[in-house]
Amino acid sequence: MNLLKNYNIYLLAIVLAVLINIFSWHLPFFWDTILTSTITQYFFEHGFQNLMVPAEFDAGHPPLFYVYVSCYYLIFGKSLMAAHLSMLPFTILGIISFIQLLHYFSFSKKQQFIGVILFFSIPAVITQHTLVSYDAVLLSLYLAALVSYLNNKKILFAVVLIGIVGITLRGLFCLAAISATIFFISNNIKSSSNELNGADRHPELVSGSINKMNFKSWFKWNLYFVPALVIIASWYSYHYTQTDWFFATPSEGWSEQRGFVDGFGLFKNGVSIARCFFDLGIVLLSFLSLFYFLQKRKLDTFTLLWLIPAILFSISFLPFTNPINHRYFLVVYVLMLFPVIQFLSNRRIVYTVLTAIILLLGHLQIYPVPISNGWDCTLLHTTYTIDVKSSLYKSMTGRLSVDISKVGTVFPMNASRKQTEFLDDTVKMINVNGIP
């Protein structure tokens, strides 16, 4: 019934999702999705066998996403279009789940429309959906898990959690955030005019203070985490029997990203996390979410939805040497839209338009050398993947007659065109990163 009543909102969302996916069909693999290309092509060419890949490709992630994308090659043929097409179901799942969350909390149709526009205006969100990115899939599954919980769909909830831990190591952090979110919002949602709408579907949400009944309910929901935890534990146990390591790979390409930081590294990671809430237009979402909190003077549901994963993700990323990227916080960016939409809904439409424009202008926020950029979270990267790399290759191999295998460069330029564009060219440049 929800779908029928709001078909125009859902139709807009699905049309935008399809258009974004069609736009991405010609885009080569870029940044960390090059690893996805490498592994999925390996599975396509050698079969799934024991689900293991050569050590130089193995970053320790579970194989579910790679298997899923490889199946699209088997069905549609190995092509960039097939790879990007595999993202469409999750793009649709993500935006529909987001609309369902807005509907659950009684946001008006106008607010839902604003939500859809802002969802795709976030540079990191739309860019990750144009890449073959498991982080975009993680976002969709996280939103779907919240919808399943709020609508009391326990079996669906358990299935979604399996998907979350089956695609990346960071899925475990998402499980922790979802569990904490269930605990705190089940003791926070009260019978207010905006939130009572969910009472019939989820009676324990309309509670008062923390009590034994709420704790018991939270504990029961945690039982639905068990299948996901058992499956992921089984996978890593099996992975250990094949590789002799669990999470910290001895591979030269990954070992530096699986260690612990020192004091200075902890400070740098803190700066990196703070930057993730500033760059690429996110500063506006951060400011409006903070303003909403100060205005309410309490941690209400809309603040808890984004604050809990923001805190838990940050704590989880802080101690490790793995670089902290903007895409790790996609879930937080989207959930920030709840207080942002509430803030905008009582103001003239021009404020919503300006918010969307400022977010879209985030695609153009590029730092000069030597400051790093969140290239995989801005559509400006397409100038490199479409124009720069192909033009450089043509120039070197054509007019200049350069032996590509003897050229020094750094990531991601050192990837072969087979990895990025599915061409037959397997020649790589030399990665000189860190070499004097």
pLDDT given at position 188: 61
Is residue 238's pLDDT more than 60? Answer: yes
- Cβ neighbors of 331 (< 8 A, separation 6 or more) are 138, 139, 142, 143, 174, 177, 309, 313
Q: Is residue 60 within 8 Å of residue 258, measured between CB atoms? A: yes
The arithmetic mean of pLDDT across residues 353-379, rounded, is 94
Q: Is residue 23 within 8 Å of residue 116, measured between CB atoms? A: no
What percentage of the chain carries pLDDT values higher than 90? 69
Alpha helices in 277-400 (DSSP H): 282-296, 301-317, 330-335, 337-345, 349-361, 382, 389-397
Q: How many CB atoms lie within 10 A of CB 66?
A: 25
Round to whole Å and give the CA distance between 319 and 322.
9
Closest CA to 309 of 285, 276, 335, 286: 335
pLDDT given at position 254: 61
Terminal CA-CA length for the chain: 64
When pLDDT is cut at 50, 70 and 90, the band that residue 396 belongs to is confident
Q: Is residue 225 within 8 Å of residue 183, measured between CB atoms? A: no
* Average pLDDT over the chain, rounded to an integer: 89
pLDDT given at position 248: 72
pLDDT given at position 212: 61
Closest CA to 142 of 174, 101, 183: 174
The arithmetic mean of pLDDT across residues 236-245, rounded, is 92
| Phi–psi pair at 430, nearest 5 degrees | -85, 130
Determine the residue type at 269: N
| Sign of the dihedral through C-alpha 331, 16, 4, 197 | positive
Determine the residue type at 412: P
pLDDT given at position 192: 37
| Sign of the dihedral through C-alpha 293, 295, 297, 299 | negative
Is residue 148's pLDDT more than 60? Answer: yes
pLDDT given at position 190: 44
Closest CA to 248 of 6, 75, 53, 59: 59
- Cβ neighbors of 253 (< 8 A, separation 6 or more) are 56
Is residue 1's pLDDT more than 60? Answer: no
Is residue 197's pLDDT more than 50? Answer: no
Residue bearing the bigger pLDDT, 206 or 39: 39
Closest CA to 417 of 22, 36, 38: 38
The arithmetic mean of pLDDT across residues 413-426, rounded, is 92
The arithmetic mean of pLDDT across residues 128-145, rounded, is 98
For the chain, which residues make up each domain, given as ranges?
Answer: 2-364, 381-431
User: Among 20-34, 110-124, 146-160, 290-304, which stretch is predicted with the lowest mean pLDDT?
Assistant: 290-304
Determine the residue type at 239: H
Residue bearing the bigger pLDDT, 327 or 385: 327
The arithmetic mean of pLDDT across residues 13-35, rounded, is 96
Q: Is residue 413 within 8 Å of residue 393, measured between CB atoms? A: no
| Phi–psi pair at 170, nearest 5 degrees | -70, -5
Q: What is the pLDDT of residues 95-119, one digit of tens each?
A: 999 999 999 999 999 999 999 999 9
